Amino acid sequence: EADIYQTPRYLVIGTGKKITLECSQTMGHDKMYWYQQDPGMELHLIHYSYGVNSTEKGDLSSESTVSRIRTEHFPLTLESARPSHTSQYLCASARPGLETDTQYFGPGTRLTVL
Amino acid sequence: GENVEQHPSTLSVQEGDSAVIKCTYSDSASNYFPWYKQELGKRPQLIIDIRSNVGEKKDQRIAVTLNKTAKHFSLHITETQPEDSAVYFCAASKRAGRRALTFGSGTRLQVQP
């Protein structure tokens, strides 16, 4: 079934650890996005990609980095996690239509940094 | 860049009543306006969207209206049910923009049985 997958769904780690949040989509979409969201609160765009080898920073300053080596895969990496990184991270993808960029979201990764 | 403001931040209604959530946008070039519903602990789900060449769109109990002149759009939910309780986000985007969706800050809707 075409969908967006995120792993892990929950992660608790200590300060200073390097982590990678995985996002994969089987929807054949070109555009992919990462959002940071505290539960039920505003969605903040932190990274986006319009295709392979294309990545850009979003509205919210983030210490994370992303890569887009394959169309279906858009991992997010934190080199040194801090308690301020505790949040939910949502991955999304979109296939440009004639006029719209409808985004579909993954289930999210809830990150807690101790 | 685009700025989307959403009101109210919280809304409580009785089951069966109607609920209205309003959003305003700043970029007159925006032409696509989706609404997402996010239930507790779940991912945002697209519930309805509207393009700038349409003034109103309905899907069963939900409808969206768009006023391009005033740069605002609204979500209307009729005959609300407890399962409508969630956080609703509006968003705006424009064709050919490299930055797709700009989201509003969300409205927490509580439907009291």
Determine the pLDDT at residue B94.
76
Q: Measure the N-to-C terminal CA separation of chain A; round to a whole number of Å.
A: 36
User: Which tens digits make up the pLDDT trace of B55-87?
Assistant: 999 999 999 999 999 999 999 999 999 999 999
Place of tokens 């200073």: A16
Q: How far apart are CA B92 and CA B90, in angstroms?
A: 7
Interface contact flag, B100 A104, Cβ < 8 Å: no
Searching chain B, which residue's CA lies closest to the CA of residue A45? B102
User: Which tens digits make up the pLDDT trace of A37-59?
Assistant: 998 899 999 999 988 999 999 87
Searching chain B, which residue's CA lies closest to the CA of residue A108? B43
Q: How far apart are CA A49 and CA A57, in angstroms?
A: 9
Contact A92, A36 (CB under 8 A): no
